[in-house]
Structures are given as structure tokens and as C-alpha cells.
Amino acid sequence: MVILLILLVLILIIAARVIYELHNPEIRRYLFKTDKLSPNDKIRIAFISDLHSRKYGKNNCRLVQMISKTRPDFIVLGGDMITASVLANKDDNTIDALNGLTNIAPVFYVPGNHEKKLSRSSKQAERFSDYMFELECMDVSYLKNQKAVLTEKMYIYGLDIDTSYYKKIGHKPRFSTDILRNKLGKPDPKAFNILVAHTPEYFDAYTSAGYDLVLCGHYHGGMVILPKVGPLISSDLKFRPEHSGGAYRKHGTSVVVSRGIGSHTVNIRLFNRPEIVLIDIRQEG
């Protein structure tokens, strides 16, 4: 009886913690220094990924206010801002968030697997068309294998890949640095180049391509993070996924993986709060 009572208390504590985390995003900050900027250049980027049409307050005002208070120069969206499922169609929540964000700073949006899936769905063609129309009206820059200029010395590249690269089971096509360069070209070595690629799965291809900074999402931080074990399972069912959240560095390229700001289907987060990523980029020294 005592053991059952203890188990019940533990379950209630865990359930309360999960509910708290799902509704209380945090801000995670990173600072990167480079010799490619001028002394007076101090760029701040707010990066969010995987909203999945989640709602934080009326019209997503809590999310918008949190980002507004950080005073970013640019806002970057790393994909999966909506959920492709017909049953999970709450695009208005995302549109409310974007409406608020576009009043703060220029917004650059790179598609994830859910945007890609929706764009290829004949049954939801009207829904996707309406969504893209809303983005256009709000002057959101939607980067599908495109490059945009942030400042004279800073460029952002948005990678869009086929849904086959996101398969949960079965054979996936090989993704390489050559494929990445065929889609986006080579980054300018004299500029600070940012690549936004939704999934961190192709980490090695990204870090071999000559970018200064890569921004990813997709894995939702591993959903549950266990002490001494780490992230448990990714959104594409990888057990103990690598590069599921945080900052990494390889071949002179820094990679930041967002743990995501929302969730879908399996709405569980434990020791893994939703996050807004704040990135400051300054001159070396």
C-alpha cells in the first residue's frame, strides 16, 4: 500500500511538471563572436522552431511579448510552425503569432517537414494556399532554398528538402554537402553566413559546407530529458538522439539546435521546457 501511494505521488508530481513545462517557455541565450563583422555591428536574432500552432495566451500574446522584450534585430522561424494533420488544423494560432512578430522585426521563415507535407497534399491544397497568402500579406520572407541579406556582411540561407529525408522508418536518400551546395550554392567566405535547416540529422553535411552558423530544430529536445541519460527520443522516433538541443561546433561551424517552442501528437515535455533561442553575434574581441 505504501509503495502504491509513493508511486501515485510520483506520477502526480511528474504530471504536474509536464503540464508546467508545456505552458511555460524559457529564453535560452547564445553569444557568437566573429572577425567578419565591423566593431559597431551587434546583431541579435530570435530563433524559434516547431511551434506546431501552439497557443500561449490570447492571440499568442505571451509568446509575442517574450520575444518583443528581447528586442531582436531579426526573427528566424525554423519550420514546423504549423501541423500538417487535418485534425490538428489550428493555423490561426500560428498566424496570430506571426502577426505579432512581424511588428517587432523582419521575419524569415524556413519550412520544415510539416510545411513540406502540407504543400504536397492535394486534399489540403486550399489550406496551404490560404496559409501562404497570409504569410505574403504579413511580408514574411519564406526561404525555400533561397538566400536573403540581413546586413551588408551577413546572409541567411533557407534549406528546403523533400519529405523523403524526414522518413521515420525505411530507407532515406543520402544527403550530402554536394546536395546542399546544389540547392543553395557556396556561402560567401567574406560574409557571416547563417544556414537554417529544419532537421539536425544531416549535421555533418551542414558543418562541411562552410557556413558560420547553422540553426536547426525538429527533434523537440528529445521530449524527455533524463538525468545522466540525456534526451530520450526525438520527434522522428530516434532513441537518445544526437544534436537534439543546444550548441555544437565542428569544422569551424557553430550549430544551434532549438528544443522547440511547441509540440504535437505526443504532448510531453519533461526537464525540457519549450524555448525561444536568442543569439547575439558580435565582432571578435
- For residue 131, name the pLDDT band (cuts at 50, 70, 90): very high
Residue-wise pLDDT tens digits, 34-82: 999 988 889 999 999 999 999 999 999 999 999 999 999 999 999 999 9
Query: What's the angle, vertex CA 139, arms to CA 200 and CA 104, rounded to 5?
Result: 80
The span from the CA of 142 to the CA of 109, in Å, is 5
182 or 264: whose pLDDT is higher? Answer: 182
Burial annotation 223-234 (CB, 10 A radius, 16+ → b, else e)? bbbeeeeebbbb
Tens digit of each residue's pLDDT (9 = 90 or more) over 150-163: 999 999 999 999 99
| Angle subtended by helix axes 61-70 and 91-101, to nearest 10 | 30
Q: Find out whether 63 and 46 touch, Cβ atoms under 8 Å.
A: no
Residue 221 pLDDT:
95
pTM: 0.96
What percent of the chain has a predicted confidence (pLDDT) above 70? Answer: 100
Task: Identify which has the larger pLDDT, 89 or 281.
Answer: 281
Work out the angle at residue 24's Cα, subtended by the Cα atoms of residues 20 and 27, and round it to the nearest 5 degrees. 140
CA neighbours closer than 13 Å in the CB half-sphere of residue 279: 22
Kindly state the helix (H) or strand (E) to which residue 129 belongs, with its residue range. Answer: helix 125-137
Give the residue with greater pLDDT, 9 vs 273: 273
- How far is it, in rounded angstroms, from Cα 253 to Cα 113? 24
Q: For residue 140, what are the contacts with CB-CB under 8 A and spacing of at least 6?
A: 98, 102, 107, 108, 109
Mean pLDDT over all residues of the chain?
95
- The pLDDT, as a whole number, for residue 54 is 96
pLDDT at 222: 94
How do residues 87-108 score in pLDDT, each as one tens digit? 778 999 999 999 999 999 999 9
pLDDT of residue 285: 67
Q: What is the mean pLDDT of residues 122-144?
A: 96
Tens of pLDDT, residues 172-226: 899 999 999 999 999 999 999 999 999 999 999 999 999 999 999 999 999 999 9
**Which pLDDT score, from 0 to 100, does residue 2 have?**
83
CA pair distance 73, 260, nearest whole angstrom: 20
- pLDDT value at residue 40: 83
Task: Return the minimum-mean-pLDDT range out of 107-121, 139-153, 236-250.
Answer: 236-250
